[in-house]
């Protein structure tokens, strides 16, 4: 991270224009990427992305200008983002495949943001994040199937269950470090997956089917959505639900990062002993990171379960945890925007490179290694906290 | 009842030796390089595939078939895997030696994925399991009516021989001494003129070769090999090394025996235990790490404050 | 006046190595104690025992009337002891300002629930921290305030030491432990450091300071209470002149022949 040279603060008009235009461009890019069918189109778009990055690297002032613009007109920025998110399904139309991709990308964004508390902020390895995701999904599914509880009721219960699990994994974290901790989390992940696989009441290896669709004010999420005379496919219901969850996750991440808690996590990441010497109860904050991660992951798991209406232990394997971890590493550790970008990229690209479906995992692995070798801080590295001052 | 016990005892020792060999590889690399080579299991499990391929090639080239070519191909495969280990270090792992532990960890997990996928794509019909015969067949003798196979004897013999050789090597030879010095304190070792890269190359070669032998025995024991066996083999071997204490050879052996013991016990005495064996193993791993974070025989590293 | 810090018969063993051997001393409220002694004598270990990094093999540490022997570090800080480290342990990838704000951890109280559901209060508390941190940075010598948005890892050595002290002061301690604060400083910087400490004590007469130092110029500036440690044992205690003249101290630093020359 270089020390930023004072760049001109944009005027309100320029900032407003930049904010709106840049977000629209981003939305357009996303749309094109989602619609791209031929391999050459995907490659071209990726090249464009690469070019964009190259420019950003060369001129750090661009990203400073961008962030200053957004900070200048926060209301406009949020409003633009809201309009884009709300309007996207209308633009997409009845292309349910794209909607599906967006839903999955959003859920993964939430999972990645959840993991970011541990991995990005506190540098705690957690290979069991897939397990928290799975526990959320299973608890809510079981409650709905066996006790007929509504989706909205199962949400908090599943979250609580997963958080409890998060606390349990967190306990070994108090004493174990780095590699040993990683092994503990892997062990937890395997145990949970095996148990889900073996218990009959969790449906065993075949999982659970027939999870009923949620409904809100009488409108079932399995039915198409009618808005202002427009008919959106039923996926749109889940799209908006997932988007709402993403907003919750972003707000959570933002508030925690900028608070005493976020600073404490960063401190223990940098130097545990020094952190303790500042009065930080390192053990508690580590457990907290696990708990917060599990809480959010459970929400994502619940939505996923009710969306696809069928879950099995295969959805929550070690590989899923690795995927989420990749999103955080590639996207940018401890950078909210980066993590979301990583999640979207790593959800959409593998789908687009269907031709290379068989090589998907191989490419994944190579990409991770490549990033860690060349750009370990990720696409969007963490930003220094600014408290209204520019040097 | 005694027959059952003796049978399980034989199984336990056999499996324990195999896990111990895997664990030794992990411990050796960690001890010297302070790197967790998560993909060690996958590297080890390339050995059965290379052996099969080589045996096939030999059979096609020189006619006849059968275990004779397998036995000829095996040591070649071990050598090859030793070299593969060195190559992987040069290409990838070396970059992460001084990186934060998290990064090296994730990188080697990814490396494991890459290795598995490469096996799957390069080896014909890689996605399917392939039969892997016992390297030696037949029963050697009986104890209280329980047959003990030549294979079990081979496993024990190899393990004992390798451990003894390793012990001798580390204690008595100059290179072994340098490896031990480097594992104590890499920086000081370098200052003493101990050539980093030679020590590391040797370490990776030895660890990978031992791992290859473990992989061959593992496939032989299971009777089959598959491209993703490296995941479980790696996890179990790594767990054994950690339980015993990373960096400790006796710890690796102890850990291997403990894990094998749990597997065998759960399979024998717990109804439907086979599907829960992993649960028990990993619950034990968690337990050990909570109460003895450095492992049973590991040395806790004191950080200078 | 009762002592603020009381160390009684503290022994610290690491296996066979005796790092501290039956050390006893006390520090009064508002007092300054300078600890000197050759390298490896156990001075930092003493700090580690007081601040809970190590649990002493035997002995007691009492602070402000309560026993703190073996209590975890973070609790010791909460009670009012702050320390710096011999090799600066700064949070390198965070800004100078953030480093100081983290030092205020024990004087702030926003928790997870507060941060999530009462964001306005959380922001207010953080803003207050920023103000106080900036004020602290302005106080010391050097230009830490101007560098407040630099990564702590990129600071020059003298600034690193100053930042460590600023961070320690952020928790409003009653007792400040400085471990070789003048390491890497030249004469001018050392003088500035001494001036800083003098000013600190003038602003807050109740602040007690324990100083581990090798630079006798710094020790000379606070000559009232000096203790010399060698091989883990206290070999002399008194004022600066007395300790300096003590033959055991001379022997420890200069060797037998020189001491009796």
What digits encode the pLDDT tens for the residues A347-360? 988 887 776 777 87
- Note the pLDDT of residue A355: 67
Evaluate whether residue A28 is within a structural domain: yes
Residue B303, pLDDT above cutoff 70: no
Residues A305 and A364 in one domain: yes
- Note the pLDDT of residue B193: 66
Distance set, CA C51 to CA A34, A53, B164, C46 (Å) = 57, 47, 46, 9
Residues A139 and A35 in one domain: no
Across the interface, whether the CB atoms of B305 and C14 are under 8 A apart is answered no
- Note the pLDDT of residue A3: 47
- Note the pLDDT of residue C47: 94
Evaluate whether residue A2 is within a structural domain: no
Contact B41, B238 (CB under 8 A): yes
- Mapped onto helix, strand or coil, the DSSP state of residue A59 is coil
Residue C90, pLDDT above cutoff 50: yes
Q: What is the pLDDT of residues B47-83, one digit of tens each?
A: 999 998 888 888 888 876 666 778 888 899 999 999 9
Q: What is the pLDDT of residues C164-223, one digit of tens each?
A: 999 999 999 999 999 999 988 999 999 999 999 999 999 999 999 999 998 999 999 999
Evaluate whether residue A390 is within a structural domain: no
Residue A359 and residue A353: Cα distance in Å, rounded?
9
> At B144, phi and psi to the nearest 5?
40, 45
Helix and strand element counts for chain C (H, E): 11, 10
Tokens of A173: 């974290």
Residues A50 and A102 in one domain: no
- Note the pLDDT of residue B259: 93
- Note the pLDDT of residue B178: 81
Helix axes A151-175, A178-198, angle to 10 degrees: 140
Across the interface, whether the CB atoms of A276 and C93 are under 8 A apart is answered no
Domains belonging to chain C, first-starting first, are 3-259 (3.40.50.300)
Evaluate whether residue A1 is within a structural domain: no
Q: What would the mean pLDDT of A307-322 be, rounded to a whole number?
A: 89
Contact A275, C85 (CB under 8 A): no
- Residue B106: pLDDT band (50, 70, 90) is confident
Residue A2, pLDDT above cutoff 70: no
Residue A131, pLDDT above cutoff 50: yes
Instruction: Look at B141 and A114; give whichever has higher pLDDT.
Output: A114
Nearest CA to B231 among B20, B42, B24?
A: B42
Q: Which of B89, B100, B113 to mutate to test the interface with A (most CBs of A within 10 A)?
A: B113
User: Which of these three, A65, A92, A119, is where a domain ends?
Assistant: A92
Q: What would the mean pLDDT of A295-319 be, rounded to a whole number?
A: 92
Residue A184, pLDDT above cutoff 60: yes
Residues A101 and A88 in one domain: no
Nearest CA to A240 among A219, A258, A225?
A: A225
- Which chains have 3 or more CB–CB distances shorter than 8 Å to chain C? A, B
Q: Count CB pairs under 8 A between chains A and B.
A: 120
Instruction: Look at C201 and B295; give whichever has higher pLDDT.
Output: C201
Residue A60 makes CB contacts below 8 A (sequence gap 6+) with A2, A4
Quickly tell me which residue has 């209308």 as its tokens. A90
- Range from A56-65, A74-83, B108-117 carrying the lowest mean pLDDT: A56-65
- Note the pLDDT of residue A257: 94
Residue B282 and residue B279: Cα distance in Å, rounded?
5
Q: What is the pLDDT of residues A286-305, one digit of tens each?
A: 999 999 999 999 999 999 99
Residue A218 makes CB contacts below 8 A (sequence gap 6+) with none
- Note the pLDDT of residue A391: 42
Helix axes A235-257, A260-270, angle to 10 degrees: 70
- Residue B44: pLDDT band (50, 70, 90) is very high
Q: Is A146 on the interface with C (CB under 8 A)?
A: no
CATH code of residue A146: 1.10.3470
Instruction: Look at A102 and B171; give whichever has higher pLDDT.
Output: A102
Residues A249 and A294 in one domain: yes
Residues A57 and A99 in one domain: no
A72 lies in which domain range? 7-92
Q: Is A296 on the interface with C (CB under 8 A)?
A: no
Q: What would the mean pLDDT of C30-43 be, rounded to a whole number?
A: 90
Q: What would the mean pLDDT of C59-71 be, rounded to a whole number?
A: 93
Residues A68 and A99 in one domain: no
- Range from B165-179, B182-196, B238-252 carrying the lowest mean pLDDT: B182-196
Q: Which CATH architecture has domain B2-291?
A: Orthogonal Bundle (1.10)
- Note the pLDDT of residue C258: 59
- Note the pLDDT of residue A8: 62
Neighboring chain C residues of B302 at a CB cutoff of 8 Å? 14
Q: What would the mean pLDDT of B239-257 be, rounded to a whole number?
A: 89
Residues A310 and A208 in one domain: yes
Instruction: Look at A213 and A109; give whichever has higher pLDDT.
Output: A109
Nearest to B110 among A190, A318, A365 (CB): A365
Instruction: Look at B233 and B300; give whichever has higher pLDDT.
Output: B233
- Note the pLDDT of residue B249: 85
Residues A266 and A147 in one domain: yes
Dihedral of the CA atoms A317, A321, A324, A325 (nearest 10)? Answer: -150
Q: What is the pLDDT of residues A265-277, one digit of tens each?
A: 999 999 999 999 9
Q: What would the mean pLDDT of B100-127 be, rounded to a whole number?
A: 86
Mean pLDDT, chain C, integer? 92
How many Å separate Cα A308 from the centre of its chain? 19
Residue A126, pLDDT above cutoff 70: yes
- Kind of pairing, strands C208-212 and C32-36? parallel
Residue B195, pLDDT above cutoff 70: no
Q: ∠ at Cα C23 (C19, C24), nearest 5°?
A: 160
- Mapped onto helix, strand or coil, the DSSP state of residue C151 is strand
Residue A205 and residue A226: Cα distance in Å, rounded?
38
Kindly state the percentage of chain C with pLDDT values over 90: 84
Residue B300, pLDDT above cutoff 70: no
Neighboring chain A residues of B289 at a CB cutoff of 8 Å? 172, 175-176, 180, 183-184
Kindly state the percentage of chain A with pLDDT values over 70: 96
Residue B17, pLDDT above cutoff 90: yes
Neighbours of B298 (CB within 10 A): 22
- Which chains have 3 or more CB–CB distances shorter than 8 Å to chain B? A, C
- Residue A182: pLDDT band (50, 70, 90) is confident
Evaluate whether residue A301 is within a structural domain: yes
Residue A30, pLDDT above cutoff 80: yes
- Note the pLDDT of residue A1: 43
Tokens of C51: 């601040």
| ipTM of predicted complex | 0.93
Distance set, CA B165 to CA A272, B275, B305 (Å) = 41, 37, 39
Residue C204 and residue A327: Cα distance in Å, rounded?
50
- Range from A108-112, A344-348, B186-190 carrying the lowest mean pLDDT: B186-190
- Residue B214: pLDDT band (50, 70, 90) is very high
Contact A296, A114 (CB under 8 A): yes
Q: What would the mean pLDDT of B190-212 be, rounded to a whole number?
A: 82
- Residue B187: pLDDT band (50, 70, 90) is low
Residues A370 and A300 in one domain: yes
Evaluate whether residue A122 is within a structural domain: yes
- Note the pLDDT of residue B194: 64
Residues A131 and A264 in one domain: yes
Residues A270 and A341 in one domain: yes
- When divided into structural domains, chain A yields a total of 2
Nearest CA in chain A to B39: A365
Across the interface, whether the CB atoms of A261 and C92 are under 8 A apart is answered no
Give me the helices (H) in chain A, please.
12-35, 39-58, 60-72, 74-92, 96-116, 129-147, 151-175, 178-198, 235-257, 260-270, 272-277, 282-308, 318-331, 336-352, 360-374
Residue A223, min C-alpha distance to chain C (Å):
34
């Amino acid at each position: 991270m270089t020390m930023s040279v004072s760049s001109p603060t944009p005027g309100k008009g320029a900032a407003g224009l930049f904010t709106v235009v840049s977000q629209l461009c981003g939305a357009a890019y996303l749309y094109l990427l989602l619609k791209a069918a031929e391999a050459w189109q995907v490659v071209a778009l990726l090249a464009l992305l690469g070019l964009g990055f190259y420019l950003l690297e060369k001129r750090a002032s661009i990203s400073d200008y961008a962030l200053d613009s957004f900070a200048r007109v926060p209301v406009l920025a949020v409003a633009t983002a809201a309009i884009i998110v709300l309007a996207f399904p209308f633009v997409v139309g009845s292309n349910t495949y794209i909607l599906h991709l967006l839903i999955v990308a959003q859920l993964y964004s939430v999972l990645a943001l959840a993991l970011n508390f541990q991995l990005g902020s506190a540098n705690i390895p957690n290979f069991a994040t897939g397990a928290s995701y799975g526990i959320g999904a299973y608890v809510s599914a079981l409650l709905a199937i066996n006790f007929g509880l509504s989706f909205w009721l199962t949400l908090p219960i599943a979250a609580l269950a997963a958080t409890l699990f998060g606390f349990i994994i967190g306990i070994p974290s108090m004493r174990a470090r780095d590699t040993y901790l990683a092994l503990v989390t892997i062990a937890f992940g395997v145990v949970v997956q095996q148990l889900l696989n073996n218990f009959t009441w969790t449906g065993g290896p075949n999982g659970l089917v027939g999870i009923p669709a949620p409904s809100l004010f009488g409108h079932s999420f399995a039915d198409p959505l009618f808005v202002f005379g427009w008919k959106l496919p039923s996926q749109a219901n889940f799209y908006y639900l997932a988007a709402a969850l993403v907003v919750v996750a972003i707000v959570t991440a933002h508030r925690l990062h900028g608070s005493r808690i976020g600073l404490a996590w960063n401190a223990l990441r940098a130097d545990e002993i020094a952190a303790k010497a500042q009065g930080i109860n390192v053990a508690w904050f580590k457990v907290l990171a696990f708990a917060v991660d599990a809480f959010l992951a459970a929400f994502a798991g619940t939505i996923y379960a009710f969306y696809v209406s069928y879950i099995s232990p295969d959805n929550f394997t070690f590989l899923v945890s690795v995927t989420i971890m990749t999103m955080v590493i590639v996207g940018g550790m401890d950078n909210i925007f980066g993590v979301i970008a990583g999640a979207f990229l790593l959800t959409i690209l593998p789908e687009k490179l269907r031709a290379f479906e068989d090589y998907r995992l191989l490419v994944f692995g190579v990409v991770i290694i490549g990033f860690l070798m060349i750009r370990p801080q990720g696409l969007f590295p963490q930003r220094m906290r600014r408290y209204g001052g520019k040097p | 009842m005694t027959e059952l016990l003796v049978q399980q005892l034989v199984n336990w020792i056999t499996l324990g030796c195999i896990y111990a060999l895997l664990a030794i590889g992990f411990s050796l690399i960690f001890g010297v390089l302070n790197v967790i080579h998560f993909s060690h299991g996958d590297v080890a499990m390339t050995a059965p595939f290379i052996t099969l391929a080589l045996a096939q090639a030999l059979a096609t080239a020189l006619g006849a078939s059968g275990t004779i070519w397998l036995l000829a191909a095996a040591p070649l495969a071990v050598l090859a895997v030793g070299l593969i280990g060195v190559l992987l270090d040069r290409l990838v792992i070396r970059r992460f030696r001084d990186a934060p532990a998290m990064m090296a960890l994730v990188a080697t997990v990814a490396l494991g994925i890459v290795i598995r996928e490469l096996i799957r794509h390069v080896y014909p019909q890689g996605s399917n399991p392939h039969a892997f015969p016992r390297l030696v067949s037949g029963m050697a003798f009986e104890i209280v009516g329980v047959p003990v196979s030549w294979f079990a004897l081979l496993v024990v013999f190899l393990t004992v021989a390798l451990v003894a050789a390793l012990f001798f090597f580390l204690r008595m030879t100059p290179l072994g001494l340098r490896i031990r010095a480097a594992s104590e304190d890499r920086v000081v070792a370098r200052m003493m003129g101990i050539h980093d890269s030679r020590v590391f190359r040797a370490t990776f070669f030895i660890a990978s070769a031992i791992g290859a032998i473990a992989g061959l025995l593992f496939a032989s024991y299971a009777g089959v090999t598959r491209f993703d066996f490296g995941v479980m083999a790696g996890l179990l071997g790594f767990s054994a090394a950690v339980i015993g204490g990373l960096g400790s050879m006796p710890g690796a052996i102890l850990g291997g025996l403990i894990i094998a013991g749990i597997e065998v016990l759960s399979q024998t005495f717990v109804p439907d235990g086979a599907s829960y064996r992993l649960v028990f193993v990993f619950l034990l791993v968690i337990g050990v790490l909570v109460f003895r974070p450095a492992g049973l025989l590991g040395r806790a590293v004191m950080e200078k404050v | 006046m009762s002592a603020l810090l009381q160390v009684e018969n503290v022994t610290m063993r690491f296996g066979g190595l005796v790092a501290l051997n039956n050390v006893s001393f006390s520090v009064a409220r508002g007092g300054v104690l300078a600890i000197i002694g050759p390298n490896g004598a156990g001075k930092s270990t003493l700090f580690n025992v007081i601040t809970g990094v190590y649990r002493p093999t035997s002995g007691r540490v009492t602070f402000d009337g309560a026993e703190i022997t073996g209590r975890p570090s973070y609790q010791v800080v909460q009670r009012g002891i702050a320390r710096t480290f011999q090799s600066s342990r700064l949070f390198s990838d965070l800004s100078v300002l953030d480093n100081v704000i983290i030092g205020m951890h024990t004087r702030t109280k926003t928790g997870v629930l507060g941060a999530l559901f009462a964001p306005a209060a959380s922001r207010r508390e953080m803003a207050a921290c920023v103000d106080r941190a900036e004020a602290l940075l302005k106080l010391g010598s050097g230009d830490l305030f101007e560098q407040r948005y630099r990564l702590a890892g990129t600071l020059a050595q003298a600034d690193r030491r100053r930042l460590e002290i600023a961070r320690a002061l952020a928790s409003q301690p009653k007792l400040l432990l400085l471990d070789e604060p003048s390491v890497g400083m030249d004469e001018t910087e050392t003088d500035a450091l001494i001036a800083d400490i003098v000013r600190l004590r003038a602003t807050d007469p109740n602040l007690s300071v324990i100083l581990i130092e090798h630079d006798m110029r710094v020790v000379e500036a606070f000559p009232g209470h000096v203790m010399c440690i060698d091989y883990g044992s206290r070999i002399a205690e008194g004022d600066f002149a007395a300790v300096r003249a003590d033959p055991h101290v001379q022997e420890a630093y200069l060797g037998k022949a020189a001491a009796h020359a």
